Amino acid sequence: MNSRPTAPSDMSEQDVADRMVQLLADLLELAPEDIDPEVPLSAYGIDSVTSTWLAGELTSWCGIPLERELLLGRPSVVEAAEDVMEVVRRQPERNRV
């Protein structure tokens, strides 16, 4: 799913994971199927710069401000997606960007 969700209630952890896989695949010039969502993000070279970029892309996509620390050091796309959804669920609708 690459289109922006219309509301947090429209999003699922799978949507976030799919978007992260697509973003990583684009960044790393890989096919999305070559990104394993269970593999540690560090295996793909995710660092503070990449985390900042990824958080910005996800913020634009979901409309919720996300900090890079949310992604930095996360074990996998799946676990990062869970953390992103936790932030999205806690965010009031009026604070969407």
Q: What is the CATH number of the domain that holds 12?
A: 1.10.1200.10
Task: Identify whether 82 is part of a domain.
Answer: yes
Task: Identify whether 32 is part of a domain.
Answer: yes
The reported pLDDT for the residue numbered 72 is 81
Task: Identify whether 60 is part of a domain.
Answer: yes
Q: Token pair 């969407």 is at which residue?
A: 96
Task: With a cut of 60, say whether residue 97 has pLDDT above it.
Answer: no
Task: Identify whether 3 is part of a domain.
Answer: no
Q: Using 50, 70 and 90 to split pLDDT, how confident is the model at 81? A: very high
Domain count across the chain: 1
Domain that holds residue 78: 8-95
- Taking the model in full, what pTM does it have? 0.83
Q: Which residue has the higher pLDDT, 55 or 97?
A: 55
Give the integer Cα–Cα distance in Å for 87 and 67. Answer: 10
Task: Identify whether 91 is part of a domain.
Answer: yes
Task: Identify whether 1 is part of a domain.
Answer: no
Stretch (H or E) spanning 39: none
* CA 45 to the chain's CA centroid: 15
Q: Which residue has the higher pLDDT, 6 or 64?
A: 64
Q: Using 50, 70 and 90 to split pLDDT, how confident is the model at 77? A: very high
Structure confidence by residue, pLDDT tens digits, 5-52:
655 567 899 999 999 999 999 999 999 999 999 999 889 988 889 999
Task: Identify whether 2 is part of a domain.
Answer: no
The reported pLDDT for the residue numbered 90 is 87
